[in-house]
Amino acid sequence: MTARPPSSVILGAIGDDFTGAVELAGMLTAGGARTLLVTSVADIPSQLVAIDAVVMALRSRVAPASEALHEIGRAAAAFQALDVRQIFFKYCATFDSTDDGNIGNCAELLMAHTDARSVLFCPSFPEAGRTVYQGHHFVGDQLLENSPKRLDPLTPMTRSDLMAVLAPQTAKTVGLLPWATVQAGEAAVRAYAAARAAAGVPFLIVDALNENDLRAIAAATWDWPLMTGGSSVAAYFPAQWRANGLVADNPAPRPERIRGAAAVLAGSCADRTREQIDAFAQNHPMLTLDLKADEDATIAAALSWAHRIGPSVPICIASSSGPEAVAEVQARFGVIAAGRRAERLLGKIAIGLVDLGVRRFLVAGGETSGAVIQALGISQLRVAPYAGLGVGRCMADHPSRLSFCLKSGKLGDIDMFARVLTEMGDEA
């Protein structure tokens, strides 16, 4: 294979929320890929040297379909200007979406941008207990429709058949790439996808039960113009790049640590996040925001509370609520407006906390993470190698040197908040 020019990028990845984008960047980094994470299309450099992958963190998952398509299209155009070899569209391992999108519609747009003939959809994440068999999605030993995801306030997942989930989102015909074909290996996957595309079925939900399945899927698709899935399948791309002479065997960097006060900002309403908040609150100051109150007064009160606590102990400020409280706020403001109200509050509070000296943030929730990063005006992040479920470590240099753990709402062990904030701190 011809050696790759030093200024070219192999992979341009689009994450549909911030925690997912950080997770993906962390997995690529752990695999030895030199990875840059950016937070807007405008922040993708026109030329890059010594970068193997660029991950673009969007907030398209729960955006109105027209807004999501606009942002996905801009990201695709920017990656095409970089002449990337492949675009990868990363979404949640539980395929979080609605009949309006934003997976099938965005994949259809990306297919048009890349002239791809086949598109696989591979959300399986065996490490987290997310698997697909016969096109049906499982969370552990539960069908998706029976799992807590059925109660998600923004993307309630009430169907386990992912072909049925995807079909309303796209004009393309949706089929299945079965487990038996995955088991047969790379050549079988390529041949099956090509045959189904020729028969008018370009979109395929792919079965995957374990890491060997993901490895085979990655081997079959690493050189396609377009691939979609969870971060766990893309984690196997760097090994393919090395095997094909595209990258050197680079060591993964060590996570950076930083001094300064620490805070948890929690916007996710997932059961696991609320359990983590309760565990943290047993030994740390905790404040729950009233989303129905005046925004300016709520922000001022939260920052006054944080100032009184002082920098010596980590704090938690949360808008997270149970299903009944969420439903009440959504009924008053609307589903999307209620979520964005919470995100706006936590973003503005984050700005005030930086002014108070907070330098370590653990942010719970994908949409909340995006809101906080954008509110702080952060355009690029250095992502630490992936270390485990729910722990996406990264660093920013502007507006101050800040350390983040951006956590998916439904992942991470119950006691992780205090432990991770300590791990982010300077050893000195």
Q: Are 356 and 306 in contact (CB under 8 A)?
A: yes
pLDDT at 334: 84
Residues 42, 87, single domain; the answer is yes
Ramachandran assignment for 334, one of left (phi > 0), alpha (psi -120 to 50 degrees), beta (any other): left
pTM for the full model? Answer: 0.85
Q: Which of 93, 147, 96, 145 is nearest to 123 (CA)?
A: 93
C-alpha 243/C-alpha 249 separation (Å) is: 10
C-alpha 42/C-alpha 416 separation (Å) is: 34
C-alpha 271/C-alpha 239 separation (Å) is: 35
Q: What is the torsion angle, in degrees rounded to the nearest 10, for the CA atoms of residue 146, residue 149, residue 153 and residue 157?
A: -70
Helices (H) and strands (E) in the chain, counts: 15, 18
Q: Is residue 255 part of a domain?
A: no
Count of domains observed in the chain:
2
Name the residue range of residue 384's domain.
261-424
Strand partners, 121: 205, 228
Residues 198, 268, single domain; the answer is no
**Amino acid code (one letter) for 182:** V
What is the radius of gyration, based on Cα positions, of the chain? 21
pLDDT at 7: 47
Residues 199, 283, single domain; the answer is no
C-alpha 56/C-alpha 424 separation (Å) is: 24
Tokens 């984008």, residue?
A: 21
pLDDT at 307: 97
pLDDT at 55: 96
Residues 28, 102, single domain; the answer is yes
Residues 33, 111, single domain; the answer is yes
pLDDT at 40: 85
Instruction: Find the CATH number of the domain harbouring 79.
Output: 3.40.50.10840
C-alpha 266/C-alpha 326 separation (Å) is: 14
End-to-end CA distance of the chain: 48
Residues 321, 229, single domain; the answer is no
pLDDT at 5: 52
Domain boundary residue, one of 179, 214, 243: 243
Instruction: Find the CATH number of the domain harbouring 333.
Output: 3.40.980.20
Mean pLDDT of successive 10-residue stretches along the chain, which has 428 residues? 60 92 94 92 78 93 94 94 95 95 97 97 96 97 94 90 98 98 97 98 98 98 97 97 90 84 92 94 95 92 96 92 76 82 94 96 90 91 88 86 90 92 78
pLDDT at 423: 92
pLDDT at 428: 37
